[in-house]
Chains A and B, each alone.
Chain A
C-alpha cells in the first residue's frame, strides 16, 4: 500500500509518519510537498501529519488548508481514497472542510503533551473498522485540540465520532479529557467514512520501545482494508 505523507512548511511529524509506514509497517511511502499539485503516482493512502504548518498563523491549519496540494488531497478523498489527519493534520482537514467541526484553544490554555487513552467507536472507517470498543494509548501534543461542532447532537447521531478520550479503564471521565473537547471527542470522520482525523498521534505509538504500540492498530487496519480491496 503506497502512502503519501504531505509536508507543509512547519510540519514536524512528517518523518515520524514515514517511519511508521515504511520502517515499521514495511510499506512503500514518501513525502508530498505542499506546493505540488498532484499526489505521487499510485498513492493509496494520504497522511496529513502533525506540526505547526505555516507557524499556526491566523488559525492552526488555516493556511495549509489553502495550499496547492490540498486540491489533490480533496480530489483523492472525493474518489474515496483513505485520508488520515493527525493533530495539525486534523486541524488542516477541518479548516479544509473535509471534516466537520473545528479545533480550538485547549480549555486549560496550556500546550498538553502526554499519553492519553481513547476509545474507538462509531461507524466503520478504513482506519478503525474492527477496532470498536478498543481502548488505545497514544500521545497527544497540542494547544488547539478542543473539538467543537455547531450542532453537536445532530453530529453525534451521524456516528462520525470515532475516538473519544477515556480513562485507562475505558470510562468517560472529565479528568481523562485533556483539552475540554465537547463530549470528549478526540477524532472524527467524514460522511463517507474515508477521511479520518484525530488529535492523538498513532504514528508515535507504533513500537513498544516508544511506550505504546497501540497506534499501529490504525495502520494495520487500513492495510487490512486495502488488502481486502475495501478502500479506494
Chain B
C-alpha cells in the first residue's frame, strides 16, 4: 500500500522553548496581543510502502523512537493516510 505519513515532533510540556518565546514576543510586538505561549516543533512528511496502515503506524513509531524524535525532550504524533 502506498501511504503518506505526517509526523509531528513537539517539545514536551515543561521543556523551555526559547524559540517559541521569541516568536510569541515578536507576534505581540506586531500587535497580536491575543497571543500567549508559542511552541515550535517539527513537521515531517514521509512517503512509505506498507502492508496496511497499522503496520505503517508500528514502523513509524519505531522511526520516531530511534531517530525522528528525542523522547527525552520531545513527544511525537503520527498521522497515516493514503498517498494522493
Taking Cβ atoms with an 8 Å cutoff, the residues of A that contact B are 58-59, 62-63, 66, 94-95, 100-102, 104-109, 146, 148-150, 180
* Cβ distance B78 to chain A, nearest Cβ, rounded Å: 16
B22: Cβ under 8 A from any A Cβ: yes
Which of chain B's residues 1-41 have a Cβ closer than 8 Å to chain A?
A: 12, 15-16, 18-19, 22
Name A95's contact: one of B19, B22, B70 (CB within 8 Å).
B70
Q: Which residues of B contact A58 (CB under 8 A)?
A: 42, 67-68
Given contacts A107-B18, A148-B15, contact A101 B70 (CB under 8 A): no
* Cβ distance B12 to chain A, nearest Cβ, rounded Å: 8
Q: Which residues of B contact A66 (CB under 8 A)?
A: 66-67
Taking Cβ atoms with an 8 Å cutoff, the residues of B that contact A are 12, 15-16, 18-19, 22, 42, 66-68, 70, 72-73
Chain B: which residue is nearest A105 at the CB level?
B18
Contact call A102/B67, Cβ cutoff below 8 A: no
Contact call A148/B73, Cβ cutoff below 8 A: yes
CA distance A149 to B68 in the complex (A): 19
* Cβ distance B40 to chain A, nearest Cβ, rounded Å: 9
Contact call B19/A109, Cβ cutoff below 8 A: yes
Known: A62-B67, A100-B72, A180-B16. 14 other contacts (CB 8 A): A58-B68, A59-B70, A62-B70, A63-B67, A66-B67, A95-B70, A104-B73, A105-B19, A109-B18, A109-B22, A146-B16, A148-B15, A150-B72, A180-B18
CA distance A85 to B84 in the complex (A): 44
Contact call B18/A101, Cβ cutoff below 8 A: no
Contact call B18/A108, Cβ cutoff below 8 A: yes
CA distance A126 to B68 in the complex (A): 33
CA distance A10 to B72 in the complex (A): 24
